[in-house]
Amino acid sequence: MAKTNAPPSRWVKSSYSTDNGGTCVEWAPSNITATGIVPLRDSKRPTGPILMVSADAFTGLVSLARSTAL
């Protein structure tokens, strides 16, 4: 799997994110195909740290989030 330190070019906001400062997460789906890694960040801090997880770890995270009642 290829790895890169270049930041993703396009971020996608979670469908649970709101424009009024709610809890927000963004991910970069185009990065998965190129590297097999899913970048995640806090949309309220776009220049802040980026968490890089494997595609399998991201799938598990999404499954866990969907199964958890809010």
The burial of 31, by beta-carbon neighbours within 10 Å (0-12 exposed, 13-18 middle, 19 or more buried), is given as buried
Q: Where are the domains of the chain?
A: 12-53
Q: Residue 40 is encoded by which pair of tokens?
A: 């995640």
- What would the pLDDT profile of 16-59 be if each residue is shown by its tens digit? 666 665 668 888 888 888 889 999 998 888 888 999 999 999 99
- Residue 49, pLDDT score: 93
Entry pTM: 0.71
Q: What is the pLDDT of residues 3-17, one digit of tens each?
A: 555 566 688 887 666
